[in-house]
């Protein structure tokens, strides 16, 4: 079993210590660093090189947005923002600044574990309506004319995958909707990332918002609509 290394930056000591204790109960998780200030977060990440950073949205010295703005490009650590209450516009801003997940502090432990695993697998953990808000917010004048020459080298199946990601579907949901295996979904995503020169799902969503892609072809399966993530 591969160990997932986690760093935690939370304002309140009681919550931070409780979170550390909760995560350490899982054999596959290991806490490699903890802090309480935004100013020390970048140093903490550089020093500990965690797989996942759990970051409080509100810290004493700055907010989570300011911390994300200071992250140098290229850091492999994936950030999940934790907040007592977060508005849609704040969630969209966090994703635009590089966060890979948004989670309310009232979420269940199992939801937290699921979000960590999903983000580590390259997914974005946010409510589906926030993905739609993100795409709608970024659609603007920088569009390319639609047409067969504008598929960016994507096959019909790859276009289906891209549109599914833009709708906020996770890999398992895409697998069920398209009637293909989870492994196949991941292989398609890898090829899509290379063709569109993006590194992750967040950048893929941004790409779809800034370009007009051809409509996805009719689905190959008759799967019903899928429920949103809590």
Mean pLDDT by 10-residue block, N- to C-terminus, for the chain (230 residues)? Answer: 91 93 93 94 93 94 90 86 84 83 91 92 77 59 42 86 83 90 92 86 77 64 36
Query: Domain boundaries in the chain?
Result: 4-126, 138-210
pLDDT at 116: 95
3-state secondary structure of 33: strand
191-196: long-range contacts, CB 8 A cutoff, minimum separation 24? 191/158, 192/154, 192/158, 192/161, 192/162, 195/152, 195/153, 195/154, 195/158, 196/152, 196/154
CATH for 4-126? 3.40.50.2300
CATH class belonging to 138-210 = mainly alpha
pLDDT at 230: 45
Write the secondary structure of 156-216 as one string of H (helix), E (strand) and C (coil).
HHHHHHHHHHHCCCCHHHHHHHHCCCHHHHHHHHHHHHHHHCCCCHHHHHHHHHHCCCCCC
Owner of token pair 């983000």: 119
DSSP H or E segment with residue 14: helix 13-24
Cβ pair 11, 38 in contact under 8 A: no
- Partners of 120 in the beta sheet? none
């Amino acid at each position: 079993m591969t160990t997932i290394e986690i760093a935690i930056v939370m304002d309140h000591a009681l919550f931070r210590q409780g979170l550390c204790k909760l995560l350490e109960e899982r054999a596959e998780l290991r806490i490699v660093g903890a802090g309480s200030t935004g100013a020390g977060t970048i140093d903490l990440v550089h020093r500990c090189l965690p797989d996942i950073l759990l970051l409080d949205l509100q810290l004493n010295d700055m907010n989570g947005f300011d911390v994300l703005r200071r992250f140098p490009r290229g850091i492999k650590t994936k950030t999940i923002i934790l907040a007592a209450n977060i508005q849609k516009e704040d969630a969209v801003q966090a994703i635009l600044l590089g966060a890979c997940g948004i989670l309310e502090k009232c979420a269940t432990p199992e939801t937290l574990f699921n979000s960590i695993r999903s983000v580590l697998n390259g997914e974005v953990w946010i409510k589906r309506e926030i993905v739609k808000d993100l795409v709608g917010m970024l659609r603007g004048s920088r569009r390319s004319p639609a047409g067969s020459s504008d598929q960016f080298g994507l096959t019909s199946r790859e276009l289906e995958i891209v549109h599914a990601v833009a709708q906020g579907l996770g890999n398992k949901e895409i697998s069920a909707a398209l009637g293909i295996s989870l492994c196949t979904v991941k292989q398609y995503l890898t090829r899509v990332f290379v063709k569109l020169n993006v590194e992750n799902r967040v950048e893929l969503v941004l790409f779809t918002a800034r370009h007009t892609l051809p409509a996805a072809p009719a689905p190959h399966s008759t799967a019903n609509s899928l429920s949103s993530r809590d």
